[in-house]
Amino acid sequence: MAAPAPAPRQNLLDLDRAALERFCLERGHKPFRARQLLQWIHGRGEADFAAMTDLSKAFRQELEALAQVRVPKVLADNIAPDGTRKWLFALEGGNAVETVFIPETGRGTLCVSSQVGCAVDCAFCATGAQGFNRNLTTGEIVAQLWWATRCLQQQGTAVTNVVFMGMGEPLLNLPNVLPALRLMVDDLGYGLSKRRVTVSTSGIVPAMDRLRDGADVALAVSLHAAEDALRDELVPINRKYPLAALMAACRRYVAATERRMHITFEYVLLGGVNDRPADARALVRLLQDVPAKVNLIPFNPFPGARFVRPAPAQVADFQRQLQSRGLLTTTRRTRGDEIDAACGQLAGQVMARRRRAEARA
Ligand code: SF4
């Protein structure tokens, strides 16, 4: 009879501080060992237990047998002339996801993916067009930051902000996203400020409340329309959680966060669809009683898309209309066009296991 297969080694990137302490306690080690591991793995970017010299030799040997720091293989690493950098990570099961680093003066933002594909199927989104395959594990989410941090250190730069705006709807993968968020803001992990970690959602209302209770990070809402009829078309999850419910959840989020943070409302401008003066007026009405910042994103066309990017003058005019009514508004500069890296354009390679309508249901 064949010998039973050895148990798979625990990927320590899957474990936040509390889980790592449990891992150590269950094996007879003190909780401070977990804190040492956090510092080595996340603080210093070390994956080799042999190099963790302040751990006893016996503990390091035990770790070698039981655990690993497993980072997905990098299939591609491209840098655009403006410094925007994109990695393509190979995942188990033959899929791949993308991660993008966007350097700006005084900050560096990493855009991470949380799912392979996306079931929400927003009408203008390259990711949604590919269908849905599976959730990323906590380790696969954290590995994107782990890897980027190590690569960027060699360039003399750093990740100061993380946004969950890559592939996937993070609030449909909350059990894996929450531990990843906790590692990102943990002083012994990546030590990022809660204000500098942003989760972007299309409006999964019940999960917005759970996010607030579990992580208290900054929130962005992919809005894209200020009236239900149009939003039903552009962001189909609106049929389940319409604008009144979404805005009520936003108000609860702001009221409960420690510092009454602004919510960022992402608004992809689609030529002739949601960029008219009436749309600007509706947007101002909708956001009047929420501390809001609007981020306008001129649509970035992809093959097969049925929308067009508005002319720059139209974008500027839409921004002026919002600002003249007192709404804090910025326009996202398109970065890394050469490597196809604007957020919402992250594609990767998805073998869709579920059709989108089925997954939504
Ligand atoms: S915009 Fe976001 S929520 Fe909508 S389909 Fe794309 S990845 Fe999913």
3-class secondary structure, 100: strand
Residue whose CA lies nearest to ligand 1 atom number 7: 168
Q: Of the residues 21, 98, 140, 169, which is catalytic?
A: 98
| Ligand 1 binding pocket includes 122 (Cβ within 6 Å) | yes
Q: How far is CA 324 from CA 35, 162, 281, 284, 285, in A?
A: 50, 30, 11, 10, 13
| Ligand 1 binding pocket includes 115 (Cβ within 6 Å) | no
Distance in angstroms (rounded) separating the CA atoms of residues 243 and 140: 32
The DSSP string of 149-178 is HHHHHHHT----EEEE-SSS-GGGSHHHHH
50 CA to middle of ligand 1, Å?
A: 41
The two domains 10-68 and 73-360 share their CATH topology (first three levels equal): no
Q: Which of 127, 239, 297 to mutate to test the pocket of ligand 1 (most atoms within 8 A of CB)?
A: 127
168 CA to middle of ligand 1, Å?
A: 6
3-class secondary structure, 119: coil
In total, the chain counts a number of residues equal to 361
Say which residues have a Cβ less than 8 Å from residue 223's Cβ, sequence separation at least 6.
231, 235, 265, 266, 267, 283
Q: Which fold has domain 10-68?
A: DNA polymerase; domain 1 (1.10.150)
Closest CA to 176 of 126, 100, 109, 113: 113
- Sheet containing 197-201: order of strands: 73-79, 85-90, 96-104, 107-111, 161-164, 197-201, 218-222, 263-269, 292-298, 328-331
Domains of the chain, by residue range, sit at 10-68, 73-360
| Ligand 1 binding pocket includes 344 (Cβ within 6 Å) | yes
pLDDT, residue 266, reads 94
Q: Residues 345, 300: contact at Cβ < 8 Å?
A: yes
3-class secondary structure, 35: helix
**Whether 98 is catalytic:** yes
Q: Which of 115, 124, 222 to mutate to test the pocket of ligand 1 (most atoms within 8 A of CB)?
A: 222
Q: How far is CA 72 from CA 76, 182, 267, 353, in A?
A: 12, 21, 32, 21
| Ligand 1 binding pocket includes 220 (Cβ within 6 Å) | no
Q: Which atom of ligand 1 is nearest to the CA of 129?
A: 5
pLDDT, residue 352, reads 56
Distance in angstroms (rounded) separating the CA atoms of residues 218 and 53: 37
Q: Residues 262, 196: contact at Cβ < 8 Å?
A: no
116 CA to middle of ligand 1, Å?
A: 11
Q: Of the residues 111, 118, 125, 343, which is catalytic?
A: 343
Q: Which atom of ligand 1 is nearest to the CA of 128?
A: 5
319 CA to middle of ligand 1, Å?
A: 23
The CATH class for the domain spanning 73-360 reads alpha beta
343 CA to middle of ligand 1, Å?
A: 10
119 CA to middle of ligand 1, Å?
A: 8
| Ligand 1 binding pocket includes 266 (Cβ within 6 Å) | no
Q: Which atom of ligand 1 is nearest to the CA of 200?
A: 2
pLDDT, residue 342, reads 40
3-class secondary structure, 81: coil
pLDDT, residue 128, reads 79
| Ligand 1 binding pocket includes 222 (Cβ within 6 Å) | yes
**Whether 343 is catalytic:** yes
pLDDT, residue 261, reads 80
Q: Residues 289, 251: contact at Cβ < 8 Å?
A: yes
Please list the ranges in the chain whose pLDDT falls under 50: 338-345, 361
Closest CA to 42 of 179, 152, 145, 136: 145
| Ligand 1 binding pocket includes 202 (Cβ within 6 Å) | yes
| Ligand 1 binding pocket includes 310 (Cβ within 6 Å) | no
128 CA to middle of ligand 1, Å?
A: 5
Closest CA to 138 of 167, 174, 95: 174
